[in-house]
Amino acid sequence: MSFFPTSEKYPQPSPLLKAAACAALACLLPVLSAVAVRAETIQGGVSHEVIIDPVKPGMRVGDPFDKSALPAFHTNKSWYRIPTWYAGRWHRDTMIYEYPGNPPVVQPSRRDRWRGYQYDSQGHIWHERNEPFLLVVENDRSIDMNLILLEEPLMVNDNQVIIRLKGQSVTVDKVTRAVVGAFQKLETHNFRLAAPGKTYVSITYEHFDQDGHPLHKEPLKAEYYEQQTAAFVPIFKDYQEDYYANFCAFLQSTGQSQLMPPPPVESQGQAQPVLSGGTVPTATTSYPGAGSMPVVPATPAPAPVAPH
């Protein structure tokens, strides 16, 4: 439908994004800035304060959807290094949600993500940040537009990758083109290698209504497993971007010119893939480009939660 924008930067096949409506709950991600403020006192007397903007007109429930309310896409251009086991194409089928006082709930949540775009001259893999971007999930009667405003690496090392996500989700009726749902979410995803070609991801998340008010008094938890479906290969360019040129420009602008890789040779085709499985690593090297969270020792991934 032409009135919906298409802005997915990650090379993932659209059929896998077209899951059931509940799949949107897993991909949707949250908005954070500094307008509406609400503080709650939770268990132990700790003040749980979140600052979050309301959803803009044209993206609020009851409004005709207005794509001009969306922000400019791909304005955050930076790169960070990732471990080999984290790179490549990864597939998820389900999410397990944990609710206080209730048994875990398993929901379908199918999606693919590609991680890693370039090698540096030392053979390390780097991933590009390109927020904001849009993930679109088509359902029978509606379309979920999941706007990712921030996808920030808080910590990246050989043992784990911790990513903070901020965004919002808008559900639009296919027939009336009216917004029928809108909410916002903050998430922290902690990725760890569970087995060769398999990651375990634990999530802490918070939901907010379209006015920025928290929908619960404390963060909730969820988890999922991913299976690697393709090994990493560098992506030099696609119809949207020249990744090689942008990566080299980033390295030059950050004083890391010594890491610039040689230019791709068209006649050689795609580079040989790096097999990113292997065993659980034990080193705790911090990777450049991530936040300043402390490096922690590796811990085994827990066994799957048995749903009731």
What pLDDT was estimated at residue 287? 60
Q: With contact defined as beta carbons under 8 Å apart, do 164 and 154 qualify?
A: yes
Question: pLDDT by residue (tens digit) across 234-276?
Answer: 999 988 899 999 999 999 999 999 999 999 876 444 444 333 3
Spell out, as residue ranges, where the chain has pLDDT lower than 50. Answer: 1-48, 267-285, 292-308
Cis bond leading into 13, ω under 30°?
Answer: no
How confident is the model at residue 268, as a pLDDT? 46
Q: What are phi and psi of 243, to 5 degrees?
A: -65, -40
Which pLDDT score is estimated for 136?
86
Burial of residue 13 (number of CB atoms within 10 Å: 0-12, 13-18, 19+): exposed
Amino acid identity at 234: P
Q: With contact defined as beta carbons under 8 Å apart, do 83 and 157 qualify?
A: yes
Show the CA angle centred on residue 229, arms to residues 228 and 231, nearest 5°: 80
Note the pLDDT of residue 265: 78
CA distance 180 to 256: 48
User: Where is 185: in which H helix or E strand?
Assistant: strand 179-195
Encode pLDDT of 168-214 as tens digits.
Answer: 999 999 999 999 999 999 999 999 999 999 999 999 999 999 999 99
pLDDT at 291: 53
The pLDDT value given to residue 116:
97
CA torsion, ordered 208, 171, 28, 5, to nearest 10 deg: -130
Distance CA(79)–CA(89), nearest Å, equals 18
